[in-house]
Amino acid sequence: MLRMRRNLAVVAGLSASLLALGACSTTAEAPEADSTGDSAPVENTATYWEGVLTEAQGQTVDWFMWGGDDRLNAYINEYVAEEAAKYGVTLNQVNADASDVVNKILGEKQAGNVDDGSVDLVWINGENFATGKQADLWLCGWAQSLPNAEFVDWESDAIKFDFGTPVDDCEAPWNQAMSVITFDSSKVSSEDFSSVSAMVEWINANPGQFTYAAPPDFNGSMTVRRLFYEAVGGYDRLLGEFDQATYDELAPQAWEFLNGIEENLWRGGATYPQAIDEVEKLYASGEISAYISYNAGRSGLLVADGVYPESTRSTTFGDGMIGNTNYVAIPLNSPASAGAQVVANILQSPEAQLRKADPSVLGYYPAIEMGRTEFLAEYEALPVPESVLPFTQQKKNANPELNAAWLGAIEKGWIANVLQK
Amino acid sequence: MSFRSSSVAEPAPYGAGSAPGSAIQRSARLPGEWPDGLKVFALLSPALFLIVILFLGGFAFGFLQSLGLLSLVGDGSLSFSAYGRMFEDPAVRASLPLTLRISIISTVLSAILAVASALLIRSTKRGQKFLVTIFQLNIPIPHIVGAIAMMLLLQQSGYFSRIAFALGLVSSPAEFIPLVADEFGVGIIAHYMWKEVPFIGVVVLAALQSGVKDYEEVARSLGASSWNRFRFIILPFIAPSVSSTSIIAFAFTFGSYEIPFLLGRPFPAALPVVAVQSYRDSDLLSRPEAMATSVAITIFISILVYLYMRIADRYTGGVR
């Protein structure tokens, strides 16, 4: 079967439709390689990969991703795209919000487009990944077969579950995000963020200096969850499947907590910013002096660019911040799924991960175990800007993300009980 | 952008800058010139094809989804429950007064200002051409660019606030009155007026070029006061342009998404913003409600378009 598909791909060479057919057979075959789990014979993976490389030749991969970070865009378009070109793959970054991309793929599916979709690769997060899974949009059975998957700790829950949704070999990790509190040390001390209650005290004593973007904004939603954990006495009861009774019992405490600090938020809590970019602008212009966001390395870049004040620092609550893993997924109807796998593999390569971790490039944290690569020493020697916390310190007491159903319930609950009240 | 088009009613009968020209043409060149109906139909068919397929097709698709059909999840049976849920949704309820307020105020004020400016510009003797150029300068500027400019000017860390702070009018920029993401929608209204005043004004100016001067001269020689000349000569002349452009402006402001998103609040938000919010809900079960909201917006705007056509018909009939 393998050889047949490969021959097919070679013969088809130039025909886009047959390439797509080849991609389909990849889907059918990959679980074989996968079913043997982590001990998959190298040979099997190697032949699988050879087939992918052959198919990928000449493909153009449209990668839909959040494009709100110029440095990340430069990394993708300059470094990753160049690496992809070495495999004959043209990488084309398309700026889009993940929920819009999922809607786009859904629309294509509704229109009966099964093999010529416009999206080949998408940077996805738990909630939208779960939406796509709900509608069976993703190509599965490839992520663990990537050659660089050996550097990924597929045993870890932080990788195996994307916001509580089992990854099931339907997406590949390429980045890790830890949330941090970014604050202006000329206006507020890190002591004020030693715990959530210390922060609440600071908020109440300094009205208007803190806010978060209204969920479902990704970062605002995370901030609400972190405060939710605090208000209900920890996240233990929120893990696992969504449970309405537990939600009904706990949620009112959280709304009381969030409404309690509301009047001392930016604009007296009368409104909230709509997205994290707006929060960042408020911070840059000095309207607020602290906020919580994923993407801990970003403040270093913004300070270097002169957007943020020099006195910007990062910190974490004593009992930890929320962390998650960023993935890329491939829609089932992608006509360039082989090329997309090549790109996913490049993203996971030790060289790419090291480069991405360099604060002068991006300062994003590796999704792979750098200890499994030959670059551990270089990685550990990377300089960390003053405004950024070393990753080990961020990771301390890391809090989990919740199942997508919990997320949805908390977001809807926040809208009804905090925003609309 | 493109994948949103089926969710939000297509509200833009005019794009940046193209409309005034065509509106002028419409009032200047009249139906009698067309040789025969078939030829017209043939010439129009590419445009009609686009309208039918893209708009009516999208609308039909959205309408079916609002009834729970064609859905990727759920039982796929026909039901009007999404419309019930829509009217019970606090986001929609709070949205209606806001959306109407924004549309009505920005349209009425724009129309008044546009007429006043057009008359003033017409009355200038020197530099009129220059004034007209200045007046219509922002018509080709995209709405998004205008909205960002509004933000830079009006927000609490914006230029106005900083100037007020520098002049000692407020003790800190944060005390400057919120004009963006404010409760009333000042920023949104300001932006729409910035765009609609020249749009209506240019069309009114064009109407004023078409021979009204002669009537005015006659009236003046018969002793009509300036108010009477305005009331009985100018107003009837410009009324068709003002009313038709106002309806276009109203329909646009009612159905536009990006401006209230950028300059407004997450709650209460303008109706199109609410529609997109539920369209983007990660739970696919809320899709029918998103479509129901879009359908409601579309129907409302369609009624306005119908009114517009009635008015246009009446006046073109009357002038002939």
Report chain A's mean pLDDT, rounded to a whole number. Answer: 87
Q: What is d(CA A267, CA B170) in angstroms, rounded to the nearest whole number?
A: 16
Using pLDDT thresholds of 50, 70 and 90, give the confidence band for residue B201. very high
List chain A residues with CB under 8 Å of B157.
Answer: 281-282, 285-287
Q: What is the pLDDT of residues B107-117, one digit of tens each?
A: 999 999 999 99
Residue B199 lies in a domain: yes
Q: For chain B, what is the domain count?
A: 1
Q: What is d(CA A281, CA A290) in angstroms, rounded to the nearest whole number?
A: 12
The partner residues of A165 in beta bridges, in order of sequence, read A162
State whether residue A187 sits within 8 Å of chain B by CB. Answer: no
Residue B8 lies in a domain: no
Q: What is the pLDDT of residues A315-329, one digit of tens each?
A: 999 988 998 899 999
Q: What is the pLDDT of residues A17-52, one digit of tens each?
A: 333 333 333 333 343 334 333 444 445 678 899 999
Q: Does B91 contact A420 at a Cβ distance shorter than 8 Å?
A: yes
DSSP secondary structure string for all residues of A336-386: THHHHHHHHHHHHSHHHHHHHH-TTTT-PBPSS-GGGSTTHHHHHT----T
State whether residue A262 sits within 8 Å of chain B by CB. Answer: no
Using pLDDT thresholds of 50, 70 and 90, give the confidence band for residue B32. low
Residue with tokens 């002939």: B320
Per DSSP, B57 falls in state: H
What is the reported pLDDT for A335?
96
| B55 and B182 Cβ atoms separated by less than 8 Å | no
Of B3, B157, B181, Cβ closest to residue A271: B181
State whether residue A420 sits within 8 Å of chain B by CB. Answer: yes
Q: Which amino acid is at A329?
A: A
Report chain B's mean pLDDT, rounded to a whole number. Answer: 84
Residue with tokens 């009516």: B56
ipTM of the complex: 0.73
Residue B7 lies in a domain: no
All domains in chain A, ordered by first residue: 178-321+397-419 (3.40.190.10)
Q: Does A419 contact B267 at a Cβ distance shorter than 8 Å?
A: yes
| A242 and A164 Cβ atoms separated by less than 8 Å | no
Q: What is the pLDDT of residues A205-222, one digit of tens each?
A: 999 999 999 999 989 999
Q: What is the pLDDT of residues B40-98, one digit of tens each?
A: 888 888 888 888 888 888 899 899 999 988 776 667 778 889 999 999 999 999 999 99
List chain B residues with CB under 8 Å of A110.
Answer: 70, 72
Residue with tokens 């998004």: B144
Q: What is d(CA B232, CA B224) in angstroms, rounded to the nearest whole number?
A: 10
Q: What is d(CA A152, CA A159) in angstroms, rounded to the nearest whole number?
A: 8
Q: Does A99 contact B280 at a Cβ distance shorter than 8 Å?
A: yes
* A-B Cβ pairs (cutoff 8 Å, strict): 73
What is the reported pLDDT for B31?
54
Range of lowest pLDDT (A6-20, A115-129, A180-194, B261-275): A6-20
CA distance, residue B281 to nearest chain A CA (Å): 8
CA distance, residue A105 to nearest chain B CA (Å): 10
List chain B residues with CB under 8 Å of A282.
Answer: 157
Residue B24 lies in a domain: yes
B172 or A193, which is more confident: A193
Beta strands per DSSP E along A97-225: 121-124, 161-162, 165-166, 171-178, 180-184
Q: Hey, which residues 55-84 in chain A have their CB within 8 Å of chain B? A: none
Q: Does A287 contact B157 at a Cβ distance shorter than 8 Å?
A: yes
List chain A residues with CB under 8 Å of B6.
Answer: 107
What is the reported pLDDT for A19?
35
Q: What is d(CA A324, CA A367) in angstroms, rounded to the nearest whole number?
A: 10
B73 or B256, which is more confident: B256
Burial of B153 (0-12, 13-18, 19+ CB in 10 A): middle
Domain that holds residue B272: 16-319
What is the reported pLDDT for A60?
97
Using pLDDT thresholds of 50, 70 and 90, give the confidence band for residue A13. very low
Residue B3 lies in a domain: no
Average pLDDT on B282-302 reads: 89
Q: What is d(CA B150, CA B164) in angstroms, rounded to the nearest whole number?
A: 16
When scoring A118, A276, A285, A288 by the number of chain B Cβ atoms within 10 A, the one with the most, hence best to mutate, is A285
List chain B residues with CB under 8 Å of A106.
Answer: 72, 284
What is the reported pLDDT for B40?
81
Q: What is the pLDDT of residues A251-309, one digit of tens each?
A: 999 999 999 999 999 999 999 999 998 999 999 989 999 999 987 878 888 898 899 99
Q: Assign residue B207 the CATH number of its domain.
A: 1.10.3720.10
What is the reported pLDDT for B34?
56
**CB-based contacts of A44, cutoff 8 Å, min separation 6:** A32, A33, A36
Residue with tokens 């079916």: B64
State whether residue A261 sits within 8 Å of chain B by CB. Answer: no
Using pLDDT thresholds of 50, 70 and 90, give the confidence band for residue B317. low
Identify the CA nearest to A340 among candidates A131, A176, A175, A172.
A172
Q: Indicate whether B319 pLDDT > 70.
A: no
When scoring A104, A221, A271 by the number of chain B Cβ atoms within 10 A, the one with the most, hence best to mutate, is A271
